[in-house]
Amino acid sequence: MDRMADDRPGRSDQELVVSALRGELAAFDELVRRHQKQATALAYRLLGNTDDALEVVQEAFLASYRKLGTLSRQERFKPWLLRIVANVSLNRRRGRALRRTLSLEAMAAGGDQDRGELNRPDPHAATGEQHASAHELRGLIERTIDGMPPLQAQALLLFVRAEMPQKEIAQMLGCSVEAVKWHVFSARKKLKEVLKDYL
């Protein structure tokens, strides 16, 4: 079959998935082209580093290709892929120290308007002792997030760090908006408990 015929425009994600499962590599190539930009943007927001984001997206596309046969609702390729990107990003976070600082205010505060700046340096960490304390605090935040149940950590990071709307997070995680709200609330509550001596 002609490669151009396999890669014709206008096909839905579901049609492309079905074609890719039949061995048409051009169909999976089109899925990559179609979703690579959003996948990379999500990985970058979660990791704060371009090189890490590009590696995560490559790993996520490879994983999605290998697991394509397990996707039961083929029309939901995009949220499924983005969930893989989030999972790989979370694993990457757990495997190394982040280069960016997390804002305590954004992580512990409530409400949509209080997402905060996650990449700003701690303005109070001017002295060596204060810098060490800020570093310790960031480490505690990271360990707390890493110790959360995966859905809770993902919901928090997608909402606070990636600044995704709760409706999109719900579609990506395969749960209701109310469940996303509950996961974010529970995660913030846990952070407040752990960080009460610092507040």
Q: What is the pLDDT of residue 63?
A: 94
Q: What is the pLDDT of residue 97?
A: 43
Q: Is the dihedral of CA 13, 92, 186, 42 positive or negative?
A: negative
171 compared with 110, residue with greater pLDDT: 171
Q: Give me 64's structure tokens.
A: 């999605």
Chain-centroid distance, C-alpha 106: 17
Chain-centroid distance, C-alpha 119: 16
pLDDT in tens, 124-158: 444 555 545 777 777 788 888 888 888 888 888 88
- Confidence grade of residue 55 (pLDDT, cut at 50, 70, 90): very high
Q: Does residue 61 have a pLDDT over 90?
A: yes
- Which domains does the chain show, CATH number per domain? 3-95 (1.10.1740.10), 104-194 (1.10.10.10)
Q: Are residues 196 and 185 in contact, defined by beta-carbon separation less than 8 angstroms?
A: no
Q: What is the pLDDT of residue 90?
A: 84
- CA–CA separation, 32 and 113 (whole Å): 33
Share of the chain above pLDDT 70, in %: 74
Residue with tokens 């997390």, as numbered in its chain:
102
Q: Are residues 139 and 164 in contact, defined by beta-carbon separation less than 8 angstroms?
A: no
pLDDT in tens, 168-198: 898 888 889 999 999 999 999 998 888 887 7
- CA–CA separation, 150 and 95 (whole Å): 15
pLDDT in tens, 8-29: 558 899 999 999 999 999 999 9
Q: Does residue 65 have a pLDDT over 90?
A: yes
For the chain, the average pLDDT equals 79
Q: What is the pLDDT of residue 35?
A: 95
Q: Does residue 5 have a pLDDT over 50?
A: no
